[in-house]
Structure 1
């Protein structure tokens, strides 16, 4: 078992214990939707550009590819024909490679 697995199990145990003890019952924002437009994961110098793109209906290339990957995964899960499933898996691998290359390029900047 890796250190990450041990940490994950310990964290999950602590969370379950806090739920059981009612420590998470009165958190701010309880019952409200999550803010999925949070931009903390976007580098500060790119946030305004991303916001402009989002408001204009455009999304970054890596996000578009992630959407395509998710769609391909859904299609593979529902596919019954082996030949078609193989073709979809091939497309999925291609998209995963393109995504990896885009992310590597972004990290190297």
Structure 2
């Protein structure tokens, strides 16, 4: 195996000397590495495949929608007006999303998991930019 590593390194060095890596997209720019430390090791490949395909688990989508609705509600409340029809509609929509999220978490056995709860709090803090 050491021989194959050495051979691969020699081929890379030769290609660099010949300028074969010049002009490639991203040349000279830092790599953007994803932090997958929060994803269990056995789920990282499937997570990466789903993410690259643009698919997200429903609970992730629901959480993002809840954050967006909460921000819209705060904006409505900060406008100084009494609760408007739009505000009430947003509150209703947010309640329905939260109920669906709770149901999903209950079905998957996460509602009583302390580790998941702590992780969930950290995600919420990072997404909303708030420190609890």
Same fold (TM over 0.5): yes
* Structure 1 position 98, deviation (Å): 0.7
Query: What is the rounded CA distance, in whole Å, between the counterparts of 1:107 and 1:52 in structure 2?
Result: 24
Partner of residue 82 from structure 1, selected from 62, 69, 84: 84
Deviations, residues 15-58 of structure 1 (Å, cap 9, x unaligned)? xxxxxxxxxxxxxxxxxxxx8x5444444443321111111222
Find the structure with the greater CA-based Rg.
2
SS of alignment partner, residue 67 of structure 1: helix
TM-score (norm 2): 0.47
Unaligned runs of 5+ residues in structure 1 are 1-34
Mapped to 1, the partners of 2:57 and 2:36 lie a distance apart of 14
Q: 1:84 to 1:65 in 2, by over 3 A?
A: same
Partner of 1:68: 65
Partners of 1:102 and 1:61 lie apart in 2 by 8
Residue among 68, 73, 91 paired with 2:93 = 91
**Any runs of at least 4 consecutive aligned residues in structure 1 with deviations exceeding 3 A, and if so which?**
37-45
